[in-house]
Amino acid sequence: MLVPMKTLLHQAEKNNSAVGAFSVGNMEMVMGAIKAAEDMKTPIILQIAEKRLKNSPLELMAPMMISAAKNSSVDIAVHLDHGLSIECIRKALDYGFTSVMLDCSLKPLEENIKLTKEIVSLAKTTDATVEAELGVVGGNEGDTEKHIITCTDPDVAKYFCYKTKIDALAVAIGNAHGNYPVLPELRFDVLEKIHKKTDIPLVLHGGTGITDEMFRKAISLGIRKINIATASFDSLTEYAEDYLTKENNHDYFTLSAKMAEGVYKNIVKHIEIFNNKEKLS
């Protein structure tokens, strides 16, 4: 069933868990993600970033993501990740996305606040959830240019949330998009301060390559949504490569199933951690 993203964030808050937000770029990724969520009986967020629309047009992806969510046996939110333009956010809302992110994290604070407020009032028309980002997450979704990490300032986070009335805040605590060259040192001290000063679900971008222990610690400090993109794209590619190099006769249908399986395996692994049930069993 298609649900508002804030519903899933509030459930995660109650369960002391996090919802996985899995980036998708084609039909196999959507199918692998939905099957993983259904097999794990766990809600997820299906998302796509504006920069990825060059490869995977919104006109094709949006109806597929919405339809997959509506037909699923578990709750699914559909989210526009790293929205860069109001036009794109408006289109996503028109397609029925239940959540949008405006990423103005590289703009001056007051401009970020002004633009984010516009999105908050736009999203009210469909009761969609709004995520925004403060500080600078490393790497750069879909680009060669890399950003230098700047941690979110907890006091600025408090002011930003109060001014904008967003539903979820993406934080920068040493995390980065893409594969980490070395294991990152996440600033849990900064996360703890942000969590104490803001009464809002927090979002961790750059989930690929973060260890299980770090995920658990982040969840204990208020992270309620965790974004995973690169690990799913890589797993799909590995499964496809494996099929094409190890087997002699190839056909599209088997290749398609292998790609979906690669995504499925990666998502199941992450859902197991994000559900954060280990201590209870």
* Residues designated as active site: 81
Residue (81 or 261) nearer to ligand 13P, CB: 81
Draw the binding track, 129-158, toward ligand 13P (x: CB under 6 A; -: no contact). ------------x-----------------
Length of the chain: 281
Residue located via tokens 């951690």: 273
Q: Which of residues 72-131 bind ligand 13P (CB under 6 A)?
A: 81-82
Work out the number of other CB atoms within 10 angstroms of the CB of residue 214.
19
Question: How far is CA 190 from each of CA 65, 130, 150, 173, rounded to the nearest angstrom?
Answer: 35, 23, 11, 7
DSSP states along 160-219: HHHHH--SEEEE-SS-BSS--SS-----HHHHHHHHHH--S-EEE---TT--HHHHHHHH
Q: Which of residues 188-227 bind ligand 13P (CB under 6 A)?
A: 205-208, 227
How far apart, in whole angstroms, are the C-alpha atoms of residue 75 and residue 6? 12
Per residue in 152-190, is it b (16+ CB within 10 Å) or e — as a string? bbbeebbbbbeebebbbbbbbbbbbbbebeeebebbbeb
Report the residue from 46, 228, 236, 273 that binds ligand 13P according to the rule CB under 6 A. Answer: 228
Task: Give the residue from 166, 132, 6 showing the smallest Cα distance to 77.
Answer: 6
User: Considering the complex, what minimum distance in angstroms separates the CB of residue 219 from ligand 13P?
Assistant: 16
Task: Give the residue from 152, 155, 157 showing the smallest Cα distance to 135.
Answer: 152
Q: Which of residues 170-189 bind ligand 13P (CB under 6 A)?
A: 177-178
Token pair belonging to 262: 């690669």
Give me the torsion for CA of 88, 91, 97, 101, rounded to 10°: 20
Amino acid identity of residue 133, one-letter, is E
Residue (52 or 258) nearer to ligand 13P, CB: 52
> Considering CB under 6 A, how many residues would be counted as binding ligand 13P?
16
User: Considering the complex, what minimum distance in angstroms separates the CB of residue 141 from ligand 13P?
Assistant: 6
Report the residue from 17, 116, 230, 266 that binds ligand 13P according to the rule CB under 6 A. Answer: 230
Draw the binding track, 21-60, toward ligand 13P (x: CB under 6 A; -: no contact). --x-------------------------x-----------
User: Considering the complex, what minimum distance in angstroms separates the CB of residue 144 from ligand 13P?
Assistant: 15
Q: Which residues bind ligand 13P (CB under 6 A)?
A: 23, 49, 81-82, 141, 177-178, 205-208, 227-231
